[in-house]
Amino acid sequence: MKLILIRHPQPEVAAGICYGKTDLPLRESAFATEQVVHNWALVQAPSHMVCSPLVRCTRLGAALAALHPNTALTFDTRLQELDFGSWEMQPWDSIGKSAMDAWIASGFDALHGGESLQALDARVASWLQDVQSTYAADQTLWVITHAGVIRSILRQKNICNFEESLKYPIAYGHFIQI
């Protein structure tokens, strides 16, 4: 099975704000250009599309589904971004270096009261297992999701190691094919 991992366009949030599971709309300027949607005409048509249920993904999912009306679009909560707990919608600067250092030293545990990186990886692994048992090798699945989920998939598919995955560039509105 071919996976096309698509990161949502830029959400409406100020620079420097921690957001994960918070349901943010898309920045109109990021989506208003038809370029985001028309880029997908060049990619192999999907057998199926699955999407995070957060608005910044569902809006792109709906636009892509309109390009492929005979392809089913489903939603899966396991594709949501990491829950940053009390850090959600806080400026990274106010969270502070000491809190970030403690989070990194803990192995990215749920020090913020949200979700650990291990929990994110576990739910993404569950989703991957279901997908691999559902779709045939010759099918193409478009996955509209978030950078954290994409990085988790890259780790689990052994595309890159943990440290590399944290630095892997995943631009808004772009895709990675695996």
Instruction: Estimate the share of the chain in helix, then strand, then coil, as percent rounded to the nearest 5.
Output: 45, 15, 40
The domains of the chain, with CATH numbers, are: 2-177 (3.40.50.1240)
Cα dihedral across residues 66, 71, 73, 76: positive or negative: negative
Q: What is the pLDDT of residue 149?
A: 98
> Could you report the per-residue pLDDT of 147-162, keeping only the tens digit for each?
999 999 999 999 999 9
Greatest Cα-to-Cα distance within the chain, rounded to the nearest angstrom: 51
Q: What is the pLDDT of residue 165?
A: 93
Kindly indicate the confidence band of residue 67, based on its pLDDT and cuts at 50, 70 and 90: confident
DSSP per-residue string spanning 88-137: TTSBHHHH-HHHHHHHHHTTS-STTSS--HHHHHHHHHHHHHHHHHHS-T
* Angle subtended at Cα 152 by Cα 147 and Cα 155, rounded to the nearest 5 degrees: 125
Q: What is the pLDDT of residue 36?
A: 60
> Could you report the per-residue pLDDT of 40-65, keeping only the tens digit for each?
666 778 999 999 999 999 998 998 88
